[in-house]
Amino acid sequence: MHTTGESSSLPKISPHHDERPAGENISLLVIHNISLPPGQFGGAYIDDLFMGRLDSQADPFFQQIAGLRVSAHCLIRRDGEVVHYVPFDKRAWHAGVSSFAGRERCNDFSIGIELEGTDTVAYEKSQYRALVMLTQEIMARYPMITRERIVGHSDIAPGRKTDPGQAFDWDYFFSLLDD
């Protein structure tokens, strides 16, 4: 059973990951959002997408993303539940075409966390609390990830991505993180 605000005990392993380049240091945390179908929360569709088993006939939108091979290291659901899909030391396929501080291929050196949400719907306090706990754990494990190296998908793929969107309260997140 999953407990709100805590990591799920049995990680799911997405097939959409691979090894990081040899000697690569994990030094970036990327925050995303996702909802499937767009704007709808709950259900198994995000799991299905990350696990490579999304039924393209279940919703008209899914036909547009059929065959998409994406994942994230973790998803934080609306109630704060954290679901793990890819071990942190592996390369999840979350960033796509991206660059940070002059380096391309952010998947090589980043950890990706998805928040169940949209650019325009406020995130839940439980999601912020879970994100802070997870971020603190990640920062302790990977000290090259500093406050300045926590970004949104929109920061590493401007013009292509907009998440986590204007609904994500960066000031609130960082105030909790700094406490």
Task: Give dist(CA 160, CA 149) in Å, integer.
Answer: 20
Residue in the block written with tokens 């959002």: 33
Which distant-in-sequence residues (6+ apart) come within 8 Å of 97 by Cβ?
104, 157, 160
112 touches 129 (CB < 8 A): no
User: Known catalytic residues?
Assistant: 114
User: What letter does residue 70 receive in the DSSP assignment?
Assistant: -
C-alpha dist (Å) from residue 135 to 18, 25, 52, 69, 87: 22, 17, 26, 25, 15
State the Cα–Cα distance between residues 124 and 173, nearest whole angstrom: 11
